[in-house]
Amino acid sequence: MSNELNPCPFCGYDLRESNLIDCMETELEPDRQKNCYRIKCPSCGSCGGRQWTEKRAVAAWNKRTS
């Protein structure tokens, strides 16, 4: 992932690209046909929601405010 993540808007945790999660590997939604991605803060657990691409997941996370 080439885009930089903003810190968590709730706790200020400095996120790294390793916080990008492939929902197909972790979510309980076996009927999904395509990959989805989300970014989750390991410090406070806030999540940026599910997106269809890595780029959209980063953009959604970076738009968040506390």
Q: What is the DSSP secondary-structure string of the chain?
A: --SPPPPPTTT-----GGGEEEHHHHSS-TT--S--EEEB-TTT--B---BSSHHHHHHHHHT---
Average pLDDT, the chain: 77
Prediction pTM value: 0.70
What is the mean predicted confidence (pLDDT) over 46-57? 85
**Whether the Cβ atoms of residue 19 and residue 50 lie closer than 8 Å to each other:** no
pLDDT of residue 57: 87
State the total domains in the chain.
1
Range of the domain at 7: 1-66
Confidence of residue 12 (pLDDT cuts 50, 70, 90): very high
Confidence of residue 29 (pLDDT cuts 50, 70, 90): low
Q: How far apart are CA 30 and CA 60, in angstroms?
A: 24
| CA 13, 19, 23, 28 torsion-angle sign | negative
* pLDDT beyond 60 at 56: yes
What is the mean predicted confidence (pLDDT) over 8-35? 69
